[in-house]
Structure 1
């Protein structure tokens, strides 16, 4: 492999937005490392996969990446992009009715793993051009009853992205950070959300109506916009944007 190639690391690459991003990258012949609970049944010379349950609080992300140590040799890559896409909306219910382990698992996949991977990325690739995309949500800035764990983890992820960008400016690292709200996507996660009881999640009717009216965003549309933003050579050190807004 030539030292000017681009590596994209995508968590949750097996479905939804992650799968749409994977397909875009492979169409561009960009090398991808996908990390997800399920492997994609696809053989492609530009694709490497790691099967891991990112909701498992016992998971050690560095150990999961060890089998690809040679592939992740820093001398190979000039640009490395990390897209922290994997996440969960569960558990959904009011505080006082949640399972403690479910809260821990939610925070682990939505917040702890993105922080661990961002930290690993900066250690592993000290001289490379780095891009980090944190997949965010309106729930990072607005309180939704029944979504205590999700709102909290997304708010934390947003702040972590801001800290990363501030630290990069101080250190002079070639790092750009994107906080991206992909819109209300038409994905299996959204389908499961619409089946939630209204007493657990009062906003559920809003999402049901959006599906009925055909207002959900296709993952491929959101993925194209996200990829365009990450490919912009003039991207600022920190960019926070929602699907459909102009950068």
Structure 2
């Protein structure tokens, strides 16, 4: 059986990717604080398996507990396992010197620590069982350039990129059949964009640019971006450690 484990699958890109994996007949395991009820309906329609696990990805204890349980079930009979580390938070949006320490810790845990822990666990299980695992870490163009007010988001996404490239190099050098890649989805019409547009100009100097993206219709739909992501992870010719950008795939 083929499995897709998707974090942040309750809405946005994660929900769209889960829907499209189900349409491919792949058993989907969604992981988020809240469940998207439409995924269960989509699974029934597609005749595909589906299960939801509630997890606060900002809690290291919950991440270890939930994903250990998922791995124990999945690797019993998995033909292939796809992991999409999609969940992410952009807060705190503020100038350095004004950052909320609790939001900083949450951002680092959700955006960086959780994907690393999940990847480490599933690659360990892949090695033990001989199962092929494909991991896609959702990143951002913000990981490649500084953006005023986004110091923590830029930093965690830059770290995700380096982790992906390094893990990919290690897999390639070891001759593993597993792959780790990153996927940069560009600007989408999601709740994260709502958060960005609600920022003050004092905290985020480019806020008007992002408001114009919405007003001008420049934001892609999550369904369009998820289509590119799902097609990518299901492809046979993935390059280990590569950061794929949606603009090159559509």
In the superposition, the TM-score normalised over structure 1's length comes to 0.93
Aligned length: 241
Cα deviation per residue 1:127-181 (whole Å; 9 max; x = unaligned)?
1111111111111010001001100100000000001101001211112222111
1:185 deviates by 0.7
Residue aligning to 1:40: 36
Equivalent residue number for residue 61 of structure 1? 63
Structure 2 distance, partners of 1:203, 1:106, is 20
- Aligned position for 1:89: 90
From 146, 149, 154, the equivalent of 1:146 is: 149
Alignment partner of 2:28: what SS? strand
Q: Does 1:49 align with 2:45?
A: no
Deviations 1:228-247 (A, max 9, x none): 11111122223322112149
Distance in 2, Cα, partners of 1:183 & 1:170 = 30
Contact kept in structure 2, 1:50 and 1:65, CA below 8 Å = no
Structure with greater helix share of residues = 2
Tell me the CA shift for residue 70 of structure 1.
Answer: 5.2
Q: 2:106 and 2:61 mapped to 1: Cα distance?
A: 11
Residue 123 (1) aligns with residue 124 (2)? yes
| 1:19-74 CA distance string (max 9 Å, x none) | 00010011112011111011122434511111011123x434231235546522x2
Out of 212, 216, 220, the residue aligned to residue 219 of structure 2 is 216
Partner secondary structure for residue 94 of structure 2: coil
Once residues 246 and 220 of structure 1 are traced to their aligned partners in structure 2, the CA distance between those partners, rounded to angstroms, is: 14
Q: List gaps (5 residues or longer) in structure 1.
A: none
Deviation at 1:125, TM superposition (A): 2.2
Q: CA RMSD in A?
A: 1.6
Distance 1:148 1:113 in 2: 19
1:84-115 deviations in Å (ceiling 9; x for gaps): 10000101100110111110110000000000
CA distance in 2, matches of 1:105, 1:238: 26
Aligned counterparts of 2:188 and 2:100: Cα–Cα separation in 1: 27
> What is residue 165 of structure 1 aligned with on the other side?
168
Residue 102 of structure 1 pairs with residue 103 of structure 2: yes
Aligned 8 A contact 2:142 2:154 in 1: yes
Partner residue in 1 for 2:19? 23
- SS of match in other structure, 2:247: coil
